[in-house]
Amino acid sequence: MCYCEVPSLFLRSWKTARKPHQCCECREIIQPGDRHEITEGVWDHRWDRLRTCIECVQCRDWNDAQLDRGDCPPCLGQLFEDMPEEELPDHVLAIIHSARKQRKAA
C-alpha cells in the first residue's frame, strides 16, 4: 500500500552529472561526473524531475526490499524521515551531524 502521492506518469533513468545537483533525499550535492538516478513524473498535474545520489538509491532499494510495497513507486524526498537514527546510512548521519554543528555554531 502506498502512503505517498502516486504519480500519474513515472520514469527512472541514470545519468552522469554535468553540473552540480542536489540529492532529493540526503540534500548532498551530486558533483559533476557522478552517476545518479533521475526520476521524472507527473504529480498533481505537474511535471517534476528529481535526482538521487547513488548512496540514497542503494538505501531506498534496501528499504524497499524490506517492505512489501507492491507496485508503489518510491516515495521520493522522504526516505530517511521515518527511519530510526541507528538505521541511517553513514553518509546521511554525517550530514545530519554536520547540520546540527552548524546550527549550534550559529
* pLDDT tens sequence across 28-42: 899 999 999 999 888
* pLDDT tens sequence across 41-90: 887 888 989 999 988 888 787 777 766 656 666 677 777 765 667 777 77
Residue 60 host element (H or E): helix 54-66
- What is the reported pTM? 0.71
| Domains annotated on the chain, with CATH | 9-105 (3.30.1740)
Q: What pLDDT, on the 0 to 100 scale, is given for residue 78?
A: 76
Those residues with Cβ within 8 angstroms of residue 42's Cβ, 6 or more apart along the chain or in another chain:
7, 8, 9, 48
What's the grid cell of residue 72? 508503489
Q: Computed over its alpha carbons, how large is the radius of gyration of the chain?
A: 15
Residue type, 78: Q
88 close to 96: Cβ distance less than 8 angstroms: yes
Q: What pLDDT, on the 0 to 100 scale, is given for residue 100?
A: 60
